[in-house]
Structure 1
Amino acid sequence: MQAYLFVHFREKTSPDGEQVYFGISKDGFQWEEVNKGRPLLWAYYGDKGVRDFTITRCKRSGKYYIFATDLSLAYGMRNQYHQSWNEISKKGSKCFSVWESEDLVNWTEQRLVKIGNEDFGCMWAPDIIYDREHGDYVLHWSSSHKENNFGWKGIYCSRTQNFEDFSAPQLLYRKEDSGVIDSAIYEEDGKYYMFLKSEDKPARIVLLKADHVHGPYSRVEEFDRSMEVLESGLYEAPTAVRLEDGKWCLFLDYYGVPGAGQGYVPFIADSLAEGKFVRSDQAFNFPYGFKHGTILTITMEDYERIKSYKWEEQ
Structure 2
Amino acid sequence: MPPLDATTPRSDAIVAVHGLSKTYKIGFQALKRVDLEIRRGEIFALLGPNGAGKTTLISIVCGIVNGSEGTVTVDGHDIVRDYRAARGLIGLVPQELSTDAFESVWATVKFSRGLFGKAPDPAHLEKVLRELSLWEKKDAKIMTLSGGMKRRVLIAKALAHEPRVLFLDEPTAGVDVELRHDMWQMVRRLRESGVTIILTTHYIEEAEQMADRIGVIHRGELVLVEDKHTLMRKLGKKQLSLQLQTPLQVLPEGLAEWPLELSADGGSLTYTFDAQGEHTGIAELLRKLGTLGIDFKDLHSSESSLEDIFVSLVRSRA
Q: Which TM-score band applies after superposition, normalised by the shorter structure? A: under 0.3
TM-score norm. by structure 2 comes to 0.27
Q: Which has the higher strand share?
A: 1
TM-score norm. by structure 1 comes to 0.27
Q: Which has the higher helix share?
A: 2
Query: Quick check: which has more Rg, 1 or 2?
Result: 2
